[in-house]
Structures are given as C-alpha cells and as structure tokens.
Amino acid sequence: VVITGDRSSALAGTADILVIATTSFLRDVAPDIKAGIEHGLNVLCTAEEMAYPWLADEALANELDALAKRHKVTVLGGGVNPGFLSDALVLTAASAAWDVSHVSLKRAVNLSQFSATVLRRVGVGFSPEEFDAGWQAGTIYGHIGFPESMQVVAHSLGARIERTTKRFTGLLAEHDYTLERAEIKKGAIAGFRQLAAAIVDGKPWFEAEFLGHIDPPSIGAVLQDEIQIDGQVPVHLLLTPGIPAQAGVAALVANSLRRVIDARPGLVTVADLPPATPPAATVSQTVPTA
Amino acid sequence: VVITGDRSSALAGTADILVIATTSFLRDVAPDIKAGIEHGLNVLCTAEEMAYPWLADEALANELDALAKRHKVTVLGGGVNPGFLSDALVLTAASAAWDVSHVSLKRAVNLSQFSATVLRRVGVGFSPEEFDAGWQAGTIYGHIGFPESMQVVAHSLGARIERTTKRFTGLLAEHDYTLERAEIKKGAIAGFRQLAAAIVDGKPWFEAEFLGHIDPPSIGAVLQDEIQIDGQVPVHLLLTPGIPAQAGVAALVANSLRRVIDARPGLVTVADLPPATPPAATVSQTVPTA
C-alpha cells in the first residue's frame, strides 16, 4: 500500500510512504523495500526480521541503510512483536529502571483466528511426527522476531548479546476442535510453547515465552502479556487482555506512518523513534483477517 | 548539576547538559533554564509544569523555545509523573490502540518517605481546618502535572482539551502515626485523594486519580499504577508495584540525558522523544532522599 501525503490528508506536505505487510523474512521483502526507496518512498515493513535487519543479513541491512540515506527516506520494520510489546514497550518501561540485570516477556495468544498460513508455520493441525519433521526441515518454525527485539533492547541498554537460544514445543489436542479455518483432531498439534533467550555474560539476560493455542482456556492459559524488568528499580507490567495480534499490528502500522515520515533518513528501529501516534489522517484502518 | 560530556564518559563529544531538580513551577525555574541555555547547555528539568510549559505560561514557553533554538540546545521537562507514567507510557501503550475514546490513570503512592516540603504541600500533618484554609490560600495544592501530561497525550492523539478539572480531598488519620520525618496525630491529615479530568467534547476524556497516604495498607490501598486506554483496541496496563517516586525520577533523569542531547533544538516534550535509555556513562546514579 502506498499512502500519499496529499493536501487533503493530515500527512499533507510530507513524503509518501510504502507499507509492506507480506512475509517475515528480510531477504523476501528486501527487493520491495529497495524498489520503494528508489521511488523516493519512506518504507514501513511488518516483516519481523526487519525490526533489526542487521541480525539476519548485516550486509543487506547496511545496503538498505545506505540506499535509504542516499534517497533521504526512512525505513522501519515492526508491528506488535517485534515492534512494540517486546522492544518499544520494554524500553519505555525500562526508562524507570537502571542497571537492568534481566528482562522477561511472557505472551499468551489465541491462535483460532490466525490464517492457515500462520497456523501451518507454527505446526497447528499436524501430527506429532509431521511436527517434528517440519521443525527439522525448517517449514515449521514458530514465532519469528524475538532475537531481533532482544538486539534492539540490548543495544539500547548497553548489553552485548553473545548468542540467542530457541526452544519450540508442540502442544497436543486433548480432544477434537473445529475452527473457522481448520479442523484439529485429538492428538494433533493444537498449539505451541516457544522459549527464546538472549545470553549476556554467559547467562540468560532477556527471556521470552510465547504460548499459542487454538483454545487457550482449555489448557488453563490466560491471555495476557507480561513484562518483568529486574534491576535497581524493578518494573513489572501486566497487560490484560494481551494485545490482539491482528488489530494491534493494524494500529501500530497506522500510528507509525507519521513517525517514519518524520524520522531521520536511513534504517531505524523503534529505539530511535518517539511513541507511535495517529496521523489524524484519512487513512482507513480496518482489521485484517490474517 | 551540569554533566559534562568529557572524553572519559559515554557522552563524550556531545554537548553538555544542565539538570534542574528544584521546584514544580515554570516561573521559578525559568531563570535557571535561561541561564543554562545562554551558556550553551541542553537542559533537563524535573519541574512538573515544564512537561508542557505552554499551559502555565504560553509566552514564557515560547520565549524559552526561541532561546533554545537560537542557541541550538534542547530543553525537556519531566520525571515520572509527568514525564513517564502519565504521558510517555500512556502514549506508548496507545500505539497499539486507535480511535482512543478515554484514558484513565490510577496511581497509589506511599508518602512516608517523602520530604517535609512535599508532605506540607499535600497537606499531610495538618488539621482538617488548616487543610481547608491551606487549599483556599493555595499553600496546599497536591500533585502538580496532570494537566500537563493530559495536554501532551491529547495533542499526540488528536484530541482538543476544553478545560481540566481538579478535586482534592484530605484523608484523616484513624490513629497516631510516627514517621521518620513527621508525627501525624489521629484526626489530622494522613493522605489525600486527587482527581483530575481533561474535558474533550464536553466529557471527561483523560481521568487521573492519585492516592497518597503515609500508610496505604492501613486504608486498604494497593501500591500500584494502572493505565486503561479505551478505543477500538482497548489496552490495560497494570504496574505492580507502582513506580517508586524518588528512585523512578532518578532513573528517568539519568536515562534521559542522551535523548535530550540528541534531540532537535528547542523545547520538546516526551511525545517527541524515543524511550529514555542509559547513557552508559559514568554518571553516578544515587537515590535522592526527597
């Protein structure tokens, strides 16, 4: 979607902006981002790897950065997670803390309204054997973006990540489920628990847990997001209910148009930007179904 | 305090910054701010009215803004509340929402460690008659800064505040209390409940409640901060325990040095700035006693 800052909108007089909401991976979105930059467009991209693209491909990230600077446009990656819950909100909360020794994020999400594409990549609906084979083959990989958020937070708080770890476990359906978009048989995968950790000085410094299930109450899961920052002033944030994935990303994208247009040229992260606020524009905000 | 960006610190090579943490009122701090600007210093000031100085005195705020731009330095006002809880955190949370129809903030604070100066201005220790007289005379006035935070949030979310209201009620001690800094007799004022509201389109749009008491558990109060944003995607944040006032403002000040130095010249608010993050400097962070 190209949103034009014409005279009738609140973005009047500003540069245009290209919104890319397609896949999760830097290499898949890079050609579209380049095309946008070369047409003089600012770019806002929801691909999770774009939240900190230096991690997936440092050379490509630097290339995008240089290209954006040459064309005097800004490029930002991000949505809810990464882009808000796991980085911008963590950093904002951490502004009341100091000497941060550990960060923890826990998110529980209802998967029943997710698209078939997303359900496939987290393994929902597969047998345990198919799930294991898909994990080995890389076709089932769970949530993308924790390592990127962890880099954004660590850089801002002065921590150096040595490596990140990932554990991904399928949760079996204890009975048959019928969803709008899928049928889950008893014994098949009905959800997952994903654990990510960023290691600093040999110890977990930022740990994230993502629980996704097609019927969270059936396994006793509460739909909420929780951030715990340990340090000289501990900060504990609980979001109830948790931020809804689809509606949340729609809000983040619409609310980020203005700050991307206003930011300095080049590749930026949410650590560089003020809070996302409405453009007060005529951009129509609708909830996507995926 | 003037913090010098010398070669040994992480602020090396940057402009110097003056930190002013004295009174709450724009007119009291303005001469110091001007002196700092005229010496080429960026200024970070914890005076509550400086969080949005155009409200207390538009002409004086514009004068400071012009002066700061002329000297190419940045001026920011803010601490925990205003500056974080009631504006930066509200706006960050609201980035996942849209069409925000109402904002609510509730904060409960233990006053027992506050300085005698602060206790006097909120009326703690006075008889009910003295409390009423002090309120009438303007020597007892409670918490300062909600109208400023409300302006910052409203401007960013596109709401126009018609007026703000304030209610301030003393809470009577049900028994004698002995504090480090004061003796409170049964029947005297042991705390307060303050309600502030910003009216938009004739209705409360941003409501804030501040409960302060020298012994909150004795009146059943829970020490926490709560933000509720109503709109197309409601966002509910609970901070437990609440952000400690003194340690929190120390963190906010230290973590804001870098973003004030890096920001565009002129008067700015937290809505203009990225999250406050540590300068990774050798600045010593100690918890003030007031």
In terms of Cβ atoms closer than 10 Å to its own Cβ (0-12, 13-18, 19+), residue A13 is: exposed
Residue B180's pLDDT band, with cuts at 50, 70 and 90, is: confident
pLDDT (tens, 9 = 90+) of chain A, 290 residues, equals 666 554 444 554 456 899 999 999 999 999 999 999 999 999 999 999 999 999 999 999 999 999 999 999 999 999 999 999 999 999 999 999 999 999 999 999 999 988 888 899 999 999 999 999 999 999 999 999 999 999 999 999 999 999 999 999 999 999 999 877 778 999 999 999 999 999 999 999 999 999 999 999 999 999 999 999 999 999 999 999 999 998 999 999 999 999 999 999 999 999 999 999 998 633 333 333 33
Query: DSSP letters of A67-109?
Result: HHHHTT-EEEE-SSTTTTTTTHHHHHHHTT--S--EEEEEEEE
Cα B92 to Cα A184: distance, rounded to the nearest angstrom? 37
* Among the partner residues A96, A236, A252, nearest to B251 by beta-carbon distance: A96
Q: How many CB atoms lie within 10 A of CB B29?
A: 24
Report the distance separating Cα A81 and Cα A114, nearest Å: 15
**Cα A135–Cα A78–Cα A190 angle in degrees, nearest 5:** 35
Q: Are strands B189-200 and B163-172 parallel, antiparallel or unpaired?
A: antiparallel
Q: Are the Cβ atoms of B275 and A92 closer than 8 angstroms?
A: yes
Confirm whether pTM is higher than 0.95: no
Report yes or no: A281 and A257 within 8 Å, Cβ to Cβ. yes
β-pairing, B266-268 vs B163-172, is unpaired
CA–CA dist B288, A56 (Å, integer): 43
Other CB atoms within 10 A of residue A103 CB = 29
Query: How many whole angstroms from its chain centre is CA A37?
Result: 22
Q: Please name the member of B88, B243, B256 whose beta carbon is closest to the beta carbon of A275.
A: B88
**What is d(CA B290, CA B246) in angstroms, rounded to the nearest whole number?**
7
Nearest CA in chain B to A278: B157
Cα-based angle A235, A240, A241 (whole degrees, multiple of 5): 145
A123 vs B282, which has greater pLDDT? Answer: A123
Q: Is A220 left (phi over 0), alpha (psi -120 to 50) or beta?
A: left
Asked if A93 and A104 count as a contact pair (C-beta separation under 8 A), the reply is no
The pLDDT value given to residue A115: 86
Buried b (16+ CB within 10 A) or exposed e, A229-241: bbbebebbbbbee
β-pairing, B74-77 with B102-110?
unpaired
Q: How far does the CA of residue B239 sit from the closest CA of chain A (Å)?
A: 5
Q: CA-CA-CA-CA torsion for A143, A263, A277, A114, nearest 10 degrees?
A: -20
Contact residues of A toward B, CB < 8 A? 80, 84-85, 88-89, 91-98, 156-158, 232-233, 235-241, 243-244, 247-248, 250-252, 254-256, 271-278, 280, 285
CB-based contacts of B185, cutoff 8 Å, min separation 6: B173, B176
Look at residues B109, B192, B201 and name the one whose alpha carbon lies nearest to residue B161.
B201
What SS3 class is residue B27? helix
Residue B116, pLDDT score: 86
In chain A, count H helices and then E strands. 7, 13
Tens of pLDDT, residue by residue over A68-82, are 999 999 999 999 999
CB contacts of B251 in chain A (<8 Å) are: 95-98, 232-233
- pLDDT at A282 (0 to 100): 36
Alpha-carbon torsion, ordered A229, A230, A236, A238, to 10 deg: 50
Which residues from A are below 8 Å from B84, CB to CB?
95-96
- pLDDT surpassing 90 at residue B187: yes
**From CA A118, how far away is CA A111, in angstroms rounded?**
9
How confident is the model over B87-128, as pLDDT tens digits?
999 999 999 999 999 999 999 999 998 888 889 999 999 999
> What pLDDT does A13 receive?
47
SS3 of residue A57 by DSSP: coil
- Distance CA(A50)–CA(A29), nearest Å, equals 9
Q: Answer yes or no: is pLDDT of B6 > 60.
A: no
Look at A91 and B243 and tell me if their CB atoms are within 8 Å.
Answer: no
Q: How far apart are CA A19 and CA B257, in angstroms?
A: 33
Query: Do the Cβ atoms of B20 and B43 come closer than 8 Å?
Result: yes
Contacts of B272 in chain A (CB under 8 A): 274
Neighbours of A218 (CB within 10 A): 14
Angle at which helix B58-70 crosses helix B26-38, to 10 degrees, equals 10
Angle, helix A26-38 to helix A58-70, in steps of 10 degrees: 10
Distance CA B218, CA B258 (A): 41
Could you give the CA distance from residue B50 to residue B250 in angstroms, rounded to a whole number? 17
Residues 6+ apart with CB under 8 A from B187: B127, B128, B172, B173
Look over chain B and give the mean of its residue pLDDT values, rounded to a whole number: 91
